[in-house]
Chains A and B, each alone.
Chain A
Amino acid sequence: MADNKTDTKKISLTRNDRLKVAWRSTFIQGSWNYERMQNGGWLYSLMPALNKLYTKKEDRIAAYKRHLEFFNTHPYLASPILGVTLALEEDRANGAPVDDVAIQGVKVGMMGPLAGVGDPVFWYTVRPIVGALGASLAIAGNIVGPILFFVLWNLIRWAFMWYTQEFGYRAGSRITDDLSGGLLQKVTRGASMMGMFVIGALIQRWVKIDFKPVVSRITQQKGAFIDWNHLPSGAAGIHKALTEYQLGKGLSLDKVKVTTLQDNLDQLIPGLAALLLTFLCMWLLKKKVSPIIIILGIFIVGILLHVVGWL
């Protein structure tokens, strides 16, 4: 940048400038397109900083054009890359020999690996966990569910975006080395352990399969069931029945004891059918069957099995 060598005053980005970039990066996916993906949003995010750093029109035009190149990563993990880019652009505006290739190289070099971290951590660990927490409250009719989800998620998101952008800005181009080192990998590992643990629990709790076929009908001996015809009338009868059923004697409700297939399965392993269904879905997904086909297929199977009386 020969033009800038005449500048004696050093231009630097203030905290306020960086906050503007961080806020604008909220909209980085807004113009997501099939040609260059996040490029429009990327330039939109950097705009206030570029306009401050470059005052000459031709410098601005060059900057706009170099930031409209292809770019795509996880929307939150764009923040550290933005931070590094801000540091590089600042150096360049102050006369350091940072060329287009260097800037593009840093962007492309970081976007792949960072997307690989963001997807499992945010979409597949934090959101399912926070979402399941909120949803389980909401299903019970508790308004705290959605509020908790919204507040918790946005706190995590904003804190992450701001601090990683600042981290990127300070670390400059060294960030890629730092990130490939210990800490980030540890976070990813810990997150996937936690995630798998919770997913295991969710399959047990929330995948509902109830096999209806009757395995056995056993007519029970007198005294093993509540004798509904010989109860005292009124409240006294209800009292006696409840006592016999639940508290004292554990008598069964009906004369004929019906055992369904589900009762047998539950004695073996509760949630076994749900687990097998999940494994089947995993296998189909690995066979590149579209999740949409699987979802529609499950509905069709559910309806068919219900009609024939299995579910």
Chain B
Amino acid sequence: MSAISMILIVIVAFFAGMEGILDEFQFHQPLIACTLIGLVTGQLTAGLILGGSLQMIALGWANIGAAVAPDAALASVASAIILVQGGQGRAGIGSAIAIAIPLAVAGLFLTMIVRTITVAIIHVMDAAAEKGNYRTINMWQVVCICLQGLRIAIPAALLLIIPASQVRAMLEAMPKWLSDGMAIGGGMVVAVGYAMVINMMASSEVWPFFAIGFALAALTDLTLIAIGTIGLSMALMYLKLDEHGSNGGNGGGGNNNTGDPLGDILDDY
């Protein structure tokens, strides 16, 4: 791999790390990060497909309250680097995904370390505020963001230093039953993200929508856009009818977790 590719990968990793905490432009999402790494290494298609597959797994990963989700940034960047280094092209996507999951967990610890270091920086900001020194406050904010970038950029650089032949040997040494089994696990693990989303949104009002979506999707002729259109139209129709039924608005309520029969059953189980 050329030096320019390597530098570009580290830059992509830096942006992914920043975004892992900012959560604004979404550079840390697999769909973007893996594709960019594929792009700068000349393996666009492999990166693209890896990104798409990993995105499907990571759809419901979000940090909410006490629930800590796996770190999408490190998972995307590391698996894309391993895919590129392994040199198996599209055939290596399955094992790259399998490696990505434990790395996503490891990424959590790095996040925790940076967030703890930031506590100290906040106290430096306090001192600067005491003196009215706003330039110092601005500077430390930028430093914090860069720390988050380094959180992913440094592991990415380390992975690049490991020679490609070693990565390849490691991947080829993996027995068939293990890589196949991991690919099967990868097909099922998607359910965890969806379960997180459902637990957040479920109420008696929205379960029928879930059921219709599930049933309709069995018709393989329908594209995702067609399914989305049906869902959006039904939600709009429902809200409109509901509004008329309760004489113009005020028909709210029921959008929280009360009255969730399945949830109650699961709770009592």
Using a CB–CB distance below 8 Å, which chain A residues touch chain B? 26-36, 39-41, 43-44, 47, 51, 57-58, 60-61, 64-65, 68, 75, 119-120, 123-125, 127-129, 131-143, 145-146, 149-150, 153-154, 157, 182, 185-186, 188-190, 192-210, 270-271, 274-275, 277-279, 281-286, 290-292, 294-296, 298-307, 311
Contacts and interface: CB of A to CB of B under 8 A. Distances in A.
B211 to A, nearest CB: 7
Given A192-B206, A282-B195, A132 B98 contact: no
Contacts of A182: 249-250, 252
A61 B116 contact: no
Interface stretch (B7-15, B152-160, B223-231): B223-231
B70 A207 contact: no
Contact of B188 (A51, A143, A209): A209
A197 to B, nearest CB: 4
Given A138-B49, A138-B55, A302 B184 contact: yes
A146 B64 CA distance: 25
Interface in B176-230: 177-178, 180-182, 184-203, 205-207, 209-218, 224-225, 227-228, 230
Interface in B227-269: 227-228, 230-232, 234-236, 238-239, 249-250, 252, 254-255, 262-263, 266-267, 269
Contact of A285 (B24, B188, B189, B196): B196
Nearest to A116: B256
B148 to A, nearest CB: 7
B173 interface: no
Contact of A286 (B49, B140, B184, B267): B267
B210 A199 contact: yes
Nearest to A269: B218
B55 A277 contact: no
A172 B206 CA distance: 34
A119 B266 contact: no
28 contacts: A30-B142, A30-B144, A31-B125, A34-B119, A40-B121, A40-B122, A40-B144, A43-B137, A44-B138, A60-B132, A133-B224, A135-B56, A139-B52, A141-B49, A149-B31, A150-B25, A190-B236, A196-B207, A202-B59, A203-B214, A204-B217, A271-B214, A278-B194, A286-B267, A291-B68, A299-B186, A303-B177, A303-B178
B102 to A, nearest CB: 8
Contacts of B73: none
Contacts of A57: 132
